[in-house]
Structure 1
Amino acid sequence: MFTQICSLVLVALLWGCTNPILKKNSTKIVDIKSSSQIENFYLEVKYLFTNLSYMIPFIVNQLGSVMYFIALQNIDISLALPVANSLTFVFTAIVGWILGEELPKTNVILGILMIFTGTALCTYAKQLNAN
């Protein structure tokens, strides 16, 4: 059970750490303008696929998705879903702050503490039911 929880935390870490990096490294896509929508779409896709500062975090993010899919084979979805998704929010807020986004407000910090508490309670309850 411990390794399964660790794998979900790693998934959340991969997703959460890459979200703000993807946001930051894709901001110049709005500057792409073209006369036709098809050409504009092509230029946007080309921009993303040729931008290594976007593609590397994107690949890491997708690696997290593959790991999540693998983890779902060994862990109950009623635990996997809240652990991975809620901790993703926590890691996104922390990494966003590190990258220069505004400091999380008090209600966000309180929410992070509640997420940690809820995740711990969910994990503990599943552990009790498993034994």
Structure 2
Amino acid sequence: MYEILWLTFVAVLWGGTNPFIKKGGAGIEEIKERNAIRQFLAELKFLFFNWKYLIPFLLNQCGSVLYYLTLATMDLSLAVPVTNSLTFLFTLVSGKFLGEDVGGKETYLGMLLVLSGVCLCMSDRS
């Protein structure tokens, strides 16, 4: 039972940070250098010293570590669909919070169907 809570927390960390990573990384396409190595280093510097990108990225990576640890005690056939589908939902909610256009009625119907599927997967394993 606790594994489901940990997987939900992983989905919150992944999905909740995705729009913030996207927003924090805005402007990286403006960086132009003479060769590929200098371009890579300039982009790396831009991301590393940009707290609006770095903090959500680090939280996202904490979710990856937690996911890895949770997989040791969890059935893989349940962990993957639950985490990925809930990540999708939390990404939409976070994106809406940031003012992104997440779609109309079809999106909300899809969210409801995904949530119903997750509940069915969890009830089948209980």
**TM-score interval (norm. to shorter):** over 0.9
State the partner residue of 2:15.
16
- Map of 1:67 onto structure 2: 66
Structure 1 residue identity aligned to 2:123: Y
Moved over 2 A (4+): none
Gaps of 5+ in 2: none
The alpha-carbon deviation at position 103 of structure 1 amounts to: 4.2
Is this contact kept in 2: 1:97–1:104, CA < 8 A? no
1:37, distance to aligned residue in structure 2 (A): 1.5
Partner of 1:43: 42
TM-score, scaled relative to structure 2: 0.97
Partner letter of residue 56 of structure 1?
I
- SS of 1:35's equivalent in the other structure is coil
Spell out the pairing of 1:1-131 with structure 2 (5 A cutoff).
Answer: 1=1, 3-127=2-126
Inter-partner Cα distance in structure 2 for 1:105 and 1:81: 27
Alpha-carbon distance between aligned partners in 1 of 2:84 and 2:109, rounded to the nearest angstrom: 17
Unaligned runs of 5+ in 1: none
Name the % identity.
45
CA distance, structure 2, for counterparts of residue 25 and residue 103 of structure 1: 18
Matched length: 126
TM-score (norm 1): 0.93
Query: What amino acid does structure 2 have at the position aligned with 1:52?
Result: W
SS in 1 for 2:74: coil
CA RMSD of aligned residues (A): 0.8
